[in-house]
């Protein structure tokens, strides 16, 4: 009970620090409940067997990968929040708290946020689910008399899967926090140390291998299996994107030296500060790179795989069937919902990471850095994070696209319009700028003396 009271007290004291996690869980719960409601709709008395099968397929496809993406997004935000609280957790250890009690504190906070977010996500989930059913009706994927139902499956499956994803994410964050000693956390509260964990490298490598395996399967044994081929191609993009996102801190460390060499002659203070931040705060900056990677990989991969499918059918004189329209609608729904969630995670992580650096910016101003130089440094940092994410996301999309293109047309590099890719790049850059620059200005708006002192988070 003492740990539970401490968790609720921490939530009250650090309300701002939990907003990002709350918004991520809220968006994830709304998406998962919305698509779980399709299972309730499929159970309606007037729903035909074909319509019920279509609704279950969409619910399973979006819900399954949605759970993975939601867990991934919540994990990145939770880990970011825990790293920003190293000094606080170190003080708890210094006064006798055990790693298990620290873990219960972090998990308790996560569960409280998840329950509140899931409860508030019911109304938007109903609206999203209804919009999906109406979209399926307009494209003749289901009959027009099928009405949306939001019942027990949505109310049970949605919150439970959201809570499961949050529990997994907070448990991993708690385990990581428990391994850091009090002395270590107090002396390195603002500086990250150590290489990327072995578990993270293994998980990232396994997911990347799974993505490559899916692409190879499409290119060889699943060439003309209709929906199955498209589904596996999408899985290749998603698995590769998450795998590369987990490995993104390695890439960020690798690009720090080239950036330093490229900017050394300019003697720009902003570039120097940015390179130092990339080196010392690699995993915190990776919290921006990871959602960019997932967003880019999923959006670019799905758009071009669908384009290749349509172009190949047209070249072969294959008429567009109801199944083809259904697959296209499903792909657009998947890319819309999960990309929207990835965009929310990107914005939240940008804002949360920069608002938590008020004290750091205050200390930098104390030793002579100007607000303009710090804004320039933030621009360099976020630009580096976004560029790395775009590069990794492009690679993950190319894995799925190449496998699908070779399976359908015999070529791994089909001639495709660049506009969808450029649109995704513009979207990522726009979201990053919209999130990072106002947050940095808000941190710099705090008077230098106040900012350099202790902050409440």
Whether 395 has a pLDDT exceeding 90, the answer reads yes
**What is the spatial distance between Cα 221 and Cα 314, in angstroms, rounded to a whole number?**
23
Q: Tokens at residue 132, please?
A: 């999906």
Residues 98 and 16 in one domain: yes
Residue 403: pLDDT band with limits 50, 70, 90: confident
Residues 246 and 368 in one domain: yes
Given 189, 222, 247, the domain boundary residue is 189
How far are the Cα atoms of 215, 303, 312 from residue 398, in angstroms, in the given order? 10, 12, 18
The DSSP letter of residue 1 is: -
**What is the spatial distance between Cα 243 and Cα 294, in angstroms, rounded to a whole number?**
9
Residues with Cβ within 8 Å of residue 198, at least 6 apart in sequence: none
- Say what the pLDDT of residue 3 is: 55
Residues 242 and 173 in one domain: no
**23-27, 163-167, 259-263, 385-389 — which is least confidently predicted?**
259-263
Whole-number percent of the chain with pLDDT over 70: 76
Q: What is the mean pLDDT of the chain?
A: 76
User: Regarding predicted confidence, which is higher, 417 or 227?
Assistant: 417
Backbone phi, psi, residue 151, to 5°: -125, -150
Residues 107 and 223 in one domain: no
**What is the spatial distance between Cα 341 and Cα 62, in angstroms, rounded to a whole number?**
12
**What is the spatial distance between Cα 286 and Cα 389, in angstroms, rounded to a whole number?**
9
Helices and strands counted in the chain (H then E): 18, 0
Whether 121 has a pLDDT exceeding 50, the answer reads yes
How far are the Cα atoms of 28, 31, 35, 144, 409 from residue 125, in angstroms, in the given order? 10, 6, 8, 21, 40
The residue with tokens 């047309």 is 409
Residue 186: pLDDT band with limits 50, 70, 90: low
Residues 223 and 74 in one domain: no
Given 139, 166, 189, the domain boundary residue is 189
What sign does the dihedral 46-51-57-59 (CA atoms) show?
negative
- Say what the pLDDT of residue 190 is: 46
Residues 153 and 214 in one domain: no
For the residues 423-452, what does the mean pLDDT come to? Answer: 79
Residues 305 and 160 in one domain: no
Residue 86: pLDDT band with limits 50, 70, 90: low
Number of structural domains in the chain: 2
**Which of the listed ranges 107-116, 135-144, 329-338, 380-389 does the model predict with the highest average pLDDT?**
380-389
Given 172, 189, 206, the domain boundary residue is 189
Residue 266: pLDDT band with limits 50, 70, 90: low
**Which of the listed ranges 18-22, 95-99, 253-257, 385-389 does the model predict with the highest average pLDDT?**
385-389
For the residues 331-335, what does the mean pLDDT come to? Answer: 72
Residues 236 and 221 in one domain: yes
- Say what the pLDDT of residue 160 is: 80
- Say what the pLDDT of residue 404 is: 86
Domain that holds residue 79: 1-189
For the residues 11-34, what does the mean pLDDT come to? Answer: 74
Residues with Cβ within 8 Å of residue 271, at least 6 apart in sequence: 259, 260, 263, 376, 377, 380
Residue 417 near residue 303, CB atoms below 8 Å: no
Residues 185 and 226 in one domain: no
435: nearest Cα among 399, 391, 390, 381: 381
């Amino acid at each position: 009970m003492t740990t539970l009271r401490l968790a609720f007290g921490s939530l009250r004291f650090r309300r701002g620090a939990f907003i990002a996690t709350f918004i991520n869980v809220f968006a994830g719960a709304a998406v998962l409940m919305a698509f779980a409601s399709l299972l309730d709709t499929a159970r309606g008395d007037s729903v035909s067997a074909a319509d019920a099968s279509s609704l279950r397929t969409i619910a399973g496809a979006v819900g399954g990968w949605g759970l993975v993406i939601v867990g991934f997004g919540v994990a990145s935000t939770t880990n970011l929040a825990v790293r920003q609280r190293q000094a606080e957790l170190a003080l708890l250890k210094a006064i006798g708290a055990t790693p298990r009690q620290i873990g219960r504190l972090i998990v308790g906070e996560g569960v409280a946020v998840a329950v509140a977010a899931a409860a508030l996500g019911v109304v938007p989930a109903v609206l999203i689910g209804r919009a999906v059913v109406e979209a399926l009706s307009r494209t003749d994927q289901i009959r027009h008399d099928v009405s949306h139902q939001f019942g027990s499956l949505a109310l049970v499956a949605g919150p439970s899967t959201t809570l499961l994803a949050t529990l997994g994410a907070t448990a991993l964050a708690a385990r990581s926090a428990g391994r850091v000693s009090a002395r270590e956390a107090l002396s390195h509260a603002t500086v990250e140390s150590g290489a990327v964990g072995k578990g993270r490298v293994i998980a990232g490598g396994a997911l990347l291998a799974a993505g490559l395996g899916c692409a190879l399967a499409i290119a060889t044994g699943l060439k003309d299996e209709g929906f199955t081929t498209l589904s596996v191609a999408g899985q290749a993009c998603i698995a590769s994107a998450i795998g590369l996102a987990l490995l993104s801190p390695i890439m960020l460390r690798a690009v720090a030296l080239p950036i330093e060499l490229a900017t050394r002659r300019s003697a720009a203070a902003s570039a120097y500060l940015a390179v130092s931040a990339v080196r010392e705060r690699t995993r915190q900056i990776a919290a921006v790179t990871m959602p960019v990677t997932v967003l880019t990989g999923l959006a670019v991969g799905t758009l071009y795989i669908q384009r290749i499918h349509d172009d190949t059918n047209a070249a072969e004189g294959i008429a567009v069937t109801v199944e083809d329209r259904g697959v296209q609608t499903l792909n657009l729904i998947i890319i819309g919902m999960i990309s929207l969630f990835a965009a929310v995670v990107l914005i939240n992580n940008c804002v949360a990471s920069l608002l938590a650096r008020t004290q750091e910016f205050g200390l930098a101003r104390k030793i002579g850095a100007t607000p303009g130089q710090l804004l320039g440094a933030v621009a360099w940092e976020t630009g580096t994070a976004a560029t790395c994410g775009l590069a990794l996301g492009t690679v993950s999309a190319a894995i799925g696209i190449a496998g699908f293109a070779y399976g359908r047309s015999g070529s791994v590099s089909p001639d495709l319009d660049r506009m969808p890719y450029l649109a995704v790049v513009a979207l990522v850059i726009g979201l990053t700028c919209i999130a990072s620059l106002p947050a940095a200005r808000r941190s710099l708006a705090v008077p230098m003396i106040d900012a350099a002192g202790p902050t409440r988070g």
